[in-house]
Chain A
């Protein structure tokens, strides 16, 4: 089946650091990727929708200058949390889908902890 690789799986870093998370589709062309955020014991909340070669569409309340998304190729999207602070600590998870009515395939997520 389709595989989405997300890296790193866990990051612990100091406040003020910028952190980049990669999401790769390994065996299909991902025309659309989604970035979600999951707080403890909460649901996944959509942060942004990313289409290859165009700017990401951010959900209301998500700071685009804080969460930089790049989808430069059909197999890779990156989320950079700039100048991260403790309140940015969360579980970030990406999903990818191809053309048409293809199902979304999820990465294993990245647990980000900002000290």
Chain B
């Protein structure tokens, strides 16, 4: 079945450092790919998404590019802030919004001032 593998955390960075959270996937078709963020005590929020190969999703300074050849969707941000501290989940969906998401295990990011 489909699966998502993302790097283990926790990740601790200083403010303004560069962030990369690796995510690779296994899917039978051509899935849509997502990054969700979960701030402390809150639910999941969609951070960005990409629906086809070579698409780049971006939001709030975060970016991820859908790489079909490497089955990857790594999350990057050039300069993190303390407010970015959260758990980040990579996810895929095979057939669009009304099919369930397959999640990675999540990566906890802590940014220190």
Contact = CB atoms under 8 A, between A and B. Distances in A.
B29 interface: no
Contacts of B45: 106
Interface in B56-92: 89
Given A103-B46, A106-B44, A108-B42, A42 B97 contact: no
A83 to B, nearest CB: 26
Interface string A29-70: 001101010000111111001000000000000000000000
A31 B106 contact: no
B103 A43 contact: yes
A101 B104 contact: no
B98 A102 contact: yes
A77 interface: no
Interface bin, chain A? 20 to 34
**B interface, by DSSP: helix, strand, loop or mixed?**
loop
Nearest to B87: A41
A42 B105 contact: yes
Interface of A: 4, 6, 31-32, 34, 36, 41-46, 49, 93, 95, 97-109
B11 interface: no
B98 A93 contact: no
Contacts of A43: 4, 89, 103-106
B97 A101 contact: yes
Interface string B1-28: 0001000000000000000000000000
Given A41-B106, A95-B44, 8 more contacts: A44-B101, A45-B103, A101-B96, A104-B97, A105-B46, A106-B45, A107-B43, A108-B43
Nearest to A59: B100
A34 B96 contact: no
B6 to A, nearest CB: 9
A43 B46 CA distance: 16
Given A6-B43, A43-B89, A32 B105 contact: no
A51 B42 CA distance: 25
Contact of B97 (A45, A46, A93, A102): A102
B43 A44 contact: no
